Amino acid sequence: MAAMVRNPLYEALQQAVRTVGSMIEQIDADVDRPCRMFRSGKVWTGPAAKQFDAQLAQFSSQARASGQAIMDELRQALSRTPTEVPEEEAALIRRKYGLA
């Protein structure tokens, strides 16, 4: 029976979840900040400002939804990936994906 070892793909996906999750949190914060400033009423007012606010809200929502979709996809891939594989398979995975 082949010895089981940690799956390098599982570990790479875990790292991707951490890295991308952190980046998405930063993007959310960076998008939220100007939205809040704009809605304070101290930046710009009037009909054109209302139209711009609606567009800004739409783009903000799209950015959040895209980030969530990316994280969902990564988490699904992680949940489908075994934590351990035979040594030979781990070596193949490392070569295929260029993992250390």
Contact 60, 35 (CB under 8 A): yes
Q: Helix 87-97 and helix 8-39: axis angle, to 10°?
A: 50
Residue 14 scores a pLDDT above 90: yes
* Helical (H) or strand (E) element with 23: helix 8-39
Per-position b or e across 37-59, b if 16+ CB within 10 A of its CB: ebeeeeeeeeeeeeeebeebeee
Mean pLDDT of 33-61: 89
Least confident of 7-11, 28-32, 38-42, 61-65: 38-42
Handedness of CA 16, 17, 18, 23 (dihedral sign): positive
The whole model's pTM is what?
0.83
